[in-house]
Each structure stands twice: as structure tokens, then as C-alpha cells.
Amino acid sequence: MRRIPATLAVLALATVTTACGTLSPPGEQSVAKARLVDDRPVRDGGTLTIGLKSDPDMLDPSLTSTLVARTVFASMCEQLYDVDQHNKFVPQLADSLPVLTDGGKTFTFTVRRDARFSDGTPLDAAAVKTSLDRHLHLEGSGRASEIDSVRKVTTPGTYTVRLYLKHPDTPLLGRLANTAGLIMSPTAIKKYGKKFATHPSCVGPFKYEKRVIGDRIELKKDPLYYDADKVHLDGVTYKTITDGNIRMANIRSGDVQVGDQMGPVEVRSSLGEKGVQLLNTPSLGYMAMTLNVGNTHGISGRPGTVNNPFGRDVRVREALDLSLDRDLINKLVFQGMYAPACGPVPPGTPLSTPTPCPKRDIPKAKRLLKAAGVKTPVPLELMINTTPEDNRLGQVIQAMAKDAGFDIRLRPTEFATGLSRTLAGDFQSRTGGWGGQPDPAGNIDSLVGTAGSNNQGKLSDPVIDRLIVEGRSTADTAKRREIYRKLTLAINKQHSVLYLYRNINYVSASTDVSGIKLSGDGLIKAEEAGYVKGSR
């Protein structure tokens, strides 16, 4: 009995010292350049556990609405097209890029002949038609609006699919390289109907095995996969670990091998650390501060004029924009781990043009406010999410804007509440992001077009609307690039959506794992992954 307190004291001391020992200081490893692949040779066997930031919703390509579900689909459901590591569209279940005829209104492609769904059903044009029809017509389908330019799907040959479009829709290819291009087994669709998510069956290197809500999704190697020879792992398990620190702790302990969507703080803390490697790719989306300039009747109503200085006068909005220093925001809030953004089109994609970010200019901002005749400080309520990062972001914006003559009050609001307030037009400004799509139309049309279903601030500008239509119906890449350059300038001229920064998708992984690939849109591809030869 006498020894117990002493033992406890030693144990407590050991706890503190060993814990400190594992916390590595930031190293010198650079993250400035994208690193999308680790190709050391791997051995066969083993199960890879991937830690996800949130629990996926329905594992049904037609009904899902989360990016994290797409992360899981990346291992078990292939798409018609994919985005390669240079953000170019490449065929996946289709075996060639589409042929556009009839002025861009007919979209024809063929599908690969060697693929089978995990339930044994062969992939053919009819199977693709079944999936696309389901995307278009299933009640509650999140894909219907994404491919609503499709009037009819036909199958002129066993492996040939033809889409008849209502109007030319160049960005359609981008959507078929996204969730709308996910193809499901027609047998499983017939058998499970709306309950497809309970037994998802697609073409992929791994097939669905089991799901425990809030915990994990287990997949195992699919021997029917057309490239099964290249698959080394016996299975992949997706585990939901919402807290970034805990996700990193699990990678360090070896319980999890890959951590998706790691935050800047965790990445910084692990740089240069033995046993942990980093893969990263720039996001195709953006984060912005949206000002409510016309959402007076709800998001589905007609745009009105918001009766405050920001709604009435573009000079006040420009002054606010000029008060912000995007580089400093990135440094202060994200430890310099993200990239400043000043437009909706992600750099590095084939349709992007370099856009210089406006520099912080307080004298000019003050002159604009004076010219607008507003009384300073100009009050503004900024709705932010209840995350620590958004809190910091809000505080930095608040401090910067104060210098120019703005009085920003922060209103931290929980996600669902914030969303309903935004849709109802019950907000002055908010911070928020867009996941992003490889085709710039996906980052623009619905967000700043007058009729856009996600146009939260209800910006309405005829020049923007005209350019949106032009961008959608032009097929020539050079011409489209020029249209999106003009579109970016037109959007920025309105200062209604203040683009702030662009995430970088960080994936941390244990060094005994290799063969992981990140696609241009940040998804983890585990089909060629495995444990490094000689590892456990």
C-alpha cells in the first residue's frame, strides 16, 4: 500500500514527459508544391483505414449531398469521367471523351467493355442509361438539377450512350466527372430501389461490405474489378473521426493510416515528423465573404434591394473589399497553409487565367466611403460558423475592416440555423465556402447568376448573366478561358462575393503506406495503395 502514491507520481510524470516527447515542432518540410502521389513499391494484403472528417450521408449516388460520401465512392463507385492530376478530364467507365454533334446538343460516348458491377452485372450502355435516368427522375435526386440539360438518354449500341440535350451544355462533361457520373448496378437499383444506399453496388476496386452509422464503412477487394490485378489491399475501412487532433493522434498511433481533410494546425504540427507523410492538392473551390445585396424575398424569390449601405452602394462594398489583406488573413488564420483567392476560377485548371488580388488600400477605402456619403463607422453583422477557424477569420476581418471605417459585429451561428437564415435572406453578410468543380461554370453559374439556386446574396447583374450563358454554350477552350476571365472581372466589380482564400486539401498518411493518389479534385484514390514492402 505504501508504494501506491509513489508509483502514481512516477506514472503521472511519465505521462507528461512522454506526451511532450511526441509533439514534434514544425519542421522544414515544404508544402508549397502539390504532392499528389507516393509511388514506393508495396506488398499485397492488409486493410487500410482512412480517417474521415465527417460521417458520409447516404451511399447512394443519386441522393447523396456530401463531399465525404464521394470520398468513399472513390474506392467503390467509378464515374463515367474523372479528373486527372492536372485537372484534365479523362475517361473512367466511359472509354473515350464524348463526341459533341448537332451544335453541341448531342453528346455521344462509348463505355468500357471489360467492367462488371460488384454484384456480377456487366456494365453496358443500358446500365449507364438506367443510372442516368435514375439521377434525372428519382424523387429527391440531388443530381437532377446538375444534369437537367439532358432531355433524353438513348443507347444506339450495346456500349454506346447518346444524350440529347435541351441546349448546348459544355460543363456537362465536368458534372459527369463528378457525382452525376457515378454509375450503379441496374440489378441493385431494381432490387433495392430507394434503399440502394443499404447495399450499394457499383464498378470499383473495392466493394461495399458493412456500415456502422457514425463509426465506419468497410469495403473489401472486388475480384470482379477490371483492374483487380493492380489492387494490393484486401480492404479499405473509412472511419469517422471528426476532431483533427484525434485524427492525427490515430495516424501517429497506427490505428488509422490515412487522414483526409487535415486542418492547417494539425498539418503544421506534423511537418517533418518521422512516420507521417503529407500529400496535398489545391482545392477547386473557394472560401468567401458574401454580402447580402438583394436577398430580400428568400433565395428562391426575385432579387430586391437590401436597404443598407452595402445593398445600396457598390462603393461601400468596394471599400470593405479594399480593407482586407488576403495574404495576412492566410498567415494569421491558417498559418500560411492555404492560398489567397480573388476569383471563383481555381488557378492551375485549363480554363483559368491569372487574376491579381487587390491590395489592401485603406486611404482609398476611406475615400470611397466619403464619396458614398455614409456615416462611419458603417455597421455590418457578419454571420460566421461556430468553428474555431471561422471565429479567428471573423475576428481578423473585423480588425482589418475597422481601420477603413467599418464596425463589424460577429454572429457565430450553428450550421443548420445559419443556412436557413441565409436562404431566408435574414443576414447582412456571411462567411462560407464552395467545394468546387473542375469546370468553372460549377463555381459560378448557380452562385452569382440571377436565377442561381445558390446565389445567397442575390447578386443580379446582366453582364454576369450574359457571360454565364456564353461560357456554358461555348465549346472552344481558348474562347471559354477568355469568357471566364471577363466573368471573374465582372463578378469582382460588384464586390458582392469577396473571395478570400482557397483551401488546400491536406492528406496525412503513415509512411508505411504507399501508392495513395490524390486526384485533382482532392479525392483519395486507394486502388493502387498498400503497405510498403518490409513494413508490418
> Which chain residues interact with another protein by CB under 8 A?
1-2, 4-5, 8-9, 12, 14-16, 18-19, 21-23, 55-60, 63, 65-66, 139-142, 144-145, 194-195, 197-198, 211-216, 239-243, 245-246, 249-250, 252-256, 299-300, 414-420, 423, 432, 434-435, 453-454
CB closer to another protein, 84 vs 381: 381
Q: Closest distance between another protein and the C-beta of residue 117, in Å?
A: 19
CB closer to another protein, 213 vs 478: 213
For 53, 123, 524, the CA distances from 281, given in Å and listed in that order, are: 17, 32, 11
CB closer to another protein, 289 vs 320: 289
CB closer to another protein, 146 vs 318: 146
Q: Which three cell numbers stand for residue 349?
A: 485548371
Q: Closest distance between another protein and the C-beta of residue 481, in Å?
A: 25
Sign of CA dihedral 434, 438, 442, 444: positive
For 8, 294, 438, the CA distances from 485, given in Å and listed in that order, are: 66, 24, 16
Whether omega for the bond prior to residue 344 falls within 30 degrees of 0, making it cis, is no
Beta strand pairing status for 89-91 and 429-434? unpaired
Q: Closest distance between another protein and the C-beta of residue 389, in Å?
A: 17
Q: Closest distance between another protein and the C-beta of residue 490, in Å?
A: 23
Q: Closest distance between another protein and the C-beta of residue 434, in Å?
A: 7
User: Rounded to whole angstroms, how far apart are CA atoms 130 and 125?
Assistant: 9
CA atoms within 13 A on the CB side of 147: 31
CB closer to another protein, 251 vs 351: 251
Sign of CA dihedral 182, 183, 188, 191: positive
Q: Do the Cβ atoms of 507 and 260 come closer than 8 Å? A: yes
Q: Closest distance between another protein and the C-beta of residue 65, in Å?
A: 4
CB closer to another protein, 434 vs 506: 434
What is the dihedral angle through the alpha carbons of 516, 522, 523, 526, rounded to the nearest 10 degrees? 0
Contacts of 164 (CB under 8 A, 6+ apart): 105, 106, 107, 150, 151, 152, 153, 154
For 33, 36, 54, the CA distances from 280, given in Å and listed in that order, are: 8, 6, 19
Q: Closest distance between another protein and the C-beta of residue 129, in Å?
A: 22
CB closer to another protein, 220 vs 481: 220
User: Rounded to whole angstroms, how far apart are CA atoms 458 and 244?
Assistant: 34
User: Rounded to whole angstroms, how far apart are CA atoms 110 and 93?
Assistant: 9
Q: Closest distance between another protein and the C-beta of residue 510, in Å?
A: 12
CB closer to another protein, 110 vs 270: 270
